[in-house]
Structure 1
Amino acid sequence: MQCPCNPQKKYSACCQKAHQNIATVSTAEQLMRSRYSAFVLANVTYLQKSHHSSTRPNKQEKRDIEKWTKSVQWLQLDVLNSSEHTVEFKAYFQENGLVQVIHENSKFCKEHNHWVYVGALN
């Protein structure tokens, strides 16, 4: 299987490693890519684990995220810019027949010795 975050790579050589052990993630961009792949695969357990404790979705939000990730068709990820603690990206998906895009500049930090998503920068 090709990796959702980068079709040039196999999932087993890319995001699967992060999904099996978040401690293997070494950069903010790698975490962001693994989170995109988790959205594609509806791996909400990983999405929760990779979210900062102060901004982590609650149980109802987790169920809503899982339902939504399964209801859309994920198309492509484009990383536009990456630094030590931020990643700007566009994630394309199709919902109700329309192609839409999430364009975000995300903030990341380390918590419990591994990278986590904090939230979108304004």
Structure 2
Amino acid sequence: MSRKSPDDASACPCGSSGDYAACCGRFVDGGEAAVTAEQLMRSRYSAFALGKADYLLATWHPATRPSRVRLDAGHRWIGLRIVATQAGGEADDSGTVEFVARFKEGGRGHRLQELSRFEKIDGRWYYRDGDHR
């Protein structure tokens, strides 16, 4: 279920300077695989913002993947800031990304800070788990 579908000229929800199609859309909607853990993290944020549960499940590590993702329609995701990354590059098999995601619910602002762990399996990055800060 999708909340909204950005057109090709829409700014990417992840906050990059690129448009959605060239940034996260190529992963979320286009089937390309993220090359780095940070790209996967950004694309997963965009999927949360756009209500794309199928992508979230597909990019969740098989060892920790839930049977389904419940997206709260009352959350309006309004910003992402990458705090730090460690490893998670093309040549790595694991990495971490710490981020702060901001959202509104019922007119009130909230923030989620997490240190997320990512693992590469057969050349593809997956979100493994994370610790809230």
Aligned-pair identity in percent equals 38
Q: CA deviation at 1:14?
A: 0.2
Separation in 1, partners of 2:32, 2:122: 11
Residue 26 (structure 1) aligned with residue 25 (structure 2): no
TM-score by length of 2: 0.81
Q: TM-score, normalised by structure 1?
A: 0.88
Task: Tell me the equivalent position of 1:6.
Answer: 15
- Aligned counterparts of 1:121 and 1:98: Cα–Cα separation in 2: 23
Gaps of 5+ in 2: 1-9, 88-94
Q: Find the partner of 1:50 among 52, 59, 68.
A: 59
- Tell me the distance in 2 between the aligned counterparts of 1:13 and 1:112: 24
Distance 1:13 1:22 in 2: 11
1:62-100 per-position Cα deviation (integer Å, ceiling 9, x unaligned): 2xx23x1x2211110000001220000000000122111
Q: Deviations over 1:6-41 (max 9, x none)?
A: 252100110011112142x10000000000000000
User: CA RMSD of the aligned region, Å?
Assistant: 1.4
Q: Aligned pair count?
A: 115
Query: Which amino acid counterpart does residue 71 of structure 1 have in structure 2?
Result: G
Match of 2:76 among 61, 73, 78: 73
The gaps in structure 1 that reach 5 residues or longer are none
Q: Quote the residue 2:6 is aligned against.
A: none
Tell me what 2:114 maps to. 104
